[in-house]
Structure 1
Amino acid sequence: MFAWSVPDNVGFAVSTRDGGVSLPPFNSLNLGDHVDDDPRAVAENRRRVQALFAMPGQPVWLEQVHGTDVVTLPLNPLEVHANRADASYTKLPGQVCAVMTADCLPILLCDRQGTEVAAVHAGWRGLCNGVIEAALQKFLAPACDIQALIGPAIGPTAFEVGAEVREAFVIADIAADKAFLPASPGKYFGNLEMLAHQRLVAAGITDIHCTSECTYTLSEKYFSYRKSPKTGRFASFIWLKN
């Protein structure tokens, strides 16, 4: 577990790929039910991770679409596709926010008083289009009272992208240029962690903890889609204790 200092009534966790029952290539604690793994294995893995981290309830699993929608928990059970979003927010104890990743950025947020939390899934599209900012808009607390954890994601030496990705970020903020280094002709190495850090600081958040773990180079610890497209998902969780 990462040493992130949060209020006593805030719980958080980041899983790895160890400790589950899924068979290769999903071995072993795959939490994604959309990757063609055995549904029974995924259900058991989800049960295990809830028990492992002593969560107060079942995590609310999102149907992530690389967008900027943020849902407030608890979800409306009558709403169709109520969980189709890339971030969740709550101010109710017992509701567990969760995002699944396998190279994309997981970002956990809470206020210093321990009354609000959110989990954000930020692939490059969602990050560029403002999923962090959309999640922060849910908070009642001012930005100066919000803490952020940037979790494990593909690192700056492994995330090679086309010029169009760099251009999209630089158009939005010229400072994003610092997060891209030339790679092969017409390609750049992008630093997702730096890009997220820039966005958080621009929003007024200064209490930011970066894990700086690369899912690609640590693919035996975390799932990495770029390393192996047929793979599982690990997850990042945050909740208010009962």
Structure 2
Amino acid sequence: MSGWRALGAVAGPAWAGMTIVTTTRAGGVSLAPYDSLNLGTHVGDDALAVATNRARLRALLPAEPCWLEQVHGTTVHDADGASGAKGGALPIADGAFTTTPGRVLAIMTADCLPVVIADGEARVLAMAHAGWRGLAGGVLQAAVARVRGQGGAALRAWVGPAIGPRAFEVGPDVPEAFAGSGLSTAFIPHPEHAGKWLGDLPAIAGAMLRRAGVGTVVQSGLCTLEDARFYSYRRDGRTGRFATLAWLHEPA
């Protein structure tokens, strides 16, 4: 794990049969405001720096990650199927699933939730990118359905580093997007800013996962805005992206 320590990586749950890891800002070559391990190609960083950062990450992985063009939607890409988009374009999706050991799924974030979902025997793996729009649209339910569609049972999930309940300040349109869901307790009036709300996206994700039949939900408890190890769009505006990655192991 020395290579991962050099990148300041955060480990997910130590579930048998799979690996989950989240990168941080550390260990790369990008200059401010992207310093230093920015993995996003779409944020204005120097392309060579991003390529170098991705190469450092790739050296620690069993395969090239299945990168996505994330659009705050609900599409979940089949990472075991054909690449789909022509001309080398990335799949346009906010989730992916696989049953292939060593196939690395990746979600890039800078405040949104990276969510890992797997069955209890580590035979099926899915990941989702969930901002408030994706949560309201049902991206987590779509990812769970993909795992179940591959025969997955006894499901478990990890909600990775994301903006926390003390930092996610929103207008009334966001609570309204969850009207009728029974999740109104995840939003409270901001104690200092009239007309604003504080929302708990990890709690919403956890509730949605449990409703979808996920028996074990583990929260990282890490807030990207409050924890300077991570990129945060809300905190910094112009910034990079970190990645949460997961892959299945070969059966013993």
TM-score normalised by L of structure 1: 0.93
State the one-letter code of the partner of 1:117.
Answer: L
**Following the alignment from structure 1 to structure 2, what is the Cα–Cα distance between the partners of residues 82 and 26?**
22
Q: Residues 163 and 142 of structure 1: is their aligned pair in 2 closer, same or farther, counting only changes over 3 Å?
A: farther
Which structure is higher in RCO with an 8 Å CA cutoff and minimum separation 6?
Answer: 1
Give the secondary-structure state (helix, strand or coil) at the position aligned to 2:48.
helix
Deviations 1:201-230, CA, capped at 9 Å, x for gaps? 111112111011110011x20000001110
Q: How does 1:220-231 map to 2 (within 5 A)?
A: 220-231=228-239
Q: Residues 49 and 104 of structure 1: is their aligned pair in 2 closer, same or farther, counting only changes over 3 Å?
A: same
Give the secondary-structure state (helix, strand or coil) at the position aligned to 1:12.
strand
Give the secondary-structure state (helix, strand or coil) at the position aligned to 2:114.
strand
Q: Residues 23 and 160 of structure 1: is their aligned pair in 2 closer, same or farther, counting only changes over 3 Å?
A: same
Q: How does 1:1-242 map to 2 (within 5 A)?
A: 1-2=10-11, 4-7=13-16, 9-51=17-59, 54-77=60-83, 79-80=85-86, 81=89, 83-140=91-148, 145-171=154-180, 173-174=181-182, 176-183=183-190, 184-218=193-227, 220-242=228-250
Q: Residues 41 and 116 of structure 1: is their aligned pair in 2 closer, same or farther, counting only changes over 3 Å?
A: same
**Following the alignment from structure 2 to structure 1, what is the Cα–Cα distance between the partners of residues 245 and 171?**
31
**Following the alignment from structure 2 to structure 1, what is the Cα–Cα distance between the partners of residues 216 and 83?**
35
**Following the alignment from structure 1 to structure 2, what is the Cα–Cα distance between the partners of residues 118 and 137?**
10
Deviations 1:43-68, CA, capped at 9 Å, x for gaps? 111111222xx321010110000000
**Following the alignment from structure 1 to structure 2, what is the Cα–Cα distance between the partners of residues 189 and 206?**
27
Give the root-mean-square deviation of aligned CA atoms.
Answer: 1.6
TM-score normalised by L of structure 2: 0.89
Give the secondary-structure state (helix, strand or coil) at the position aligned to 2:221.
coil
**Following the alignment from structure 1 to structure 2, what is the Cα–Cα distance between the partners of residues 204 and 92?**
23
1:134 deviates by 0.5
Q: Residues 177 and 143 of structure 1: is their aligned pair in 2 closer, same or farther, counting only changes over 3 Å?
A: farther
**Following the alignment from structure 2 to structure 1, what is the Cα–Cα distance between the partners of residues 210 and 54?**
34
**Are 1:75 and 1:83, in contact at CA under 8 Å, matched by a contact in 2?**
no
- For structure 2, the 5+ residue unaligned runs are 1-9
**Following the alignment from structure 2 to structure 1, what is the Cα–Cα distance between the partners of residues 177 and 131?**
13
**Are 1:56 and 1:241, in contact at CA under 8 Å, matched by a contact in 2?**
no
**Are 1:163 and 1:186, in contact at CA under 8 Å, matched by a contact in 2?**
yes
1:74 deviates by 3.2
**Following the alignment from structure 2 to structure 1, what is the Cα–Cα distance between the partners of residues 84 and 221?**
40
**Are 1:59 and 1:95, in contact at CA under 8 Å, matched by a contact in 2?**
yes
1:144 deviates by 5.5
Give the secondary-structure state (helix, strand or coil) at the position aligned to 1:138.
helix
**Following the alignment from structure 2 to structure 1, what is the Cα–Cα distance between the partners of residues 177 and 212?**
19
Deviations 1:80-120, CA, capped at 9 Å, x for gaps? 35511000100012211100000000001111111111111
Deviations 1:11-41, CA, capped at 9 Å, x for gaps? 2211001000100000000000000101111
**Following the alignment from structure 2 to structure 1, what is the Cα–Cα distance between the partners of residues 151 and 79?**
20
Deviations 1:168-196, CA, capped at 9 Å, x for gaps? 1123x12x111001012221000000000
**Are 1:29 and 1:45, in contact at CA under 8 Å, matched by a contact in 2?**
yes
**Are 1:70 and 1:88, in contact at CA under 8 Å, matched by a contact in 2?**
yes
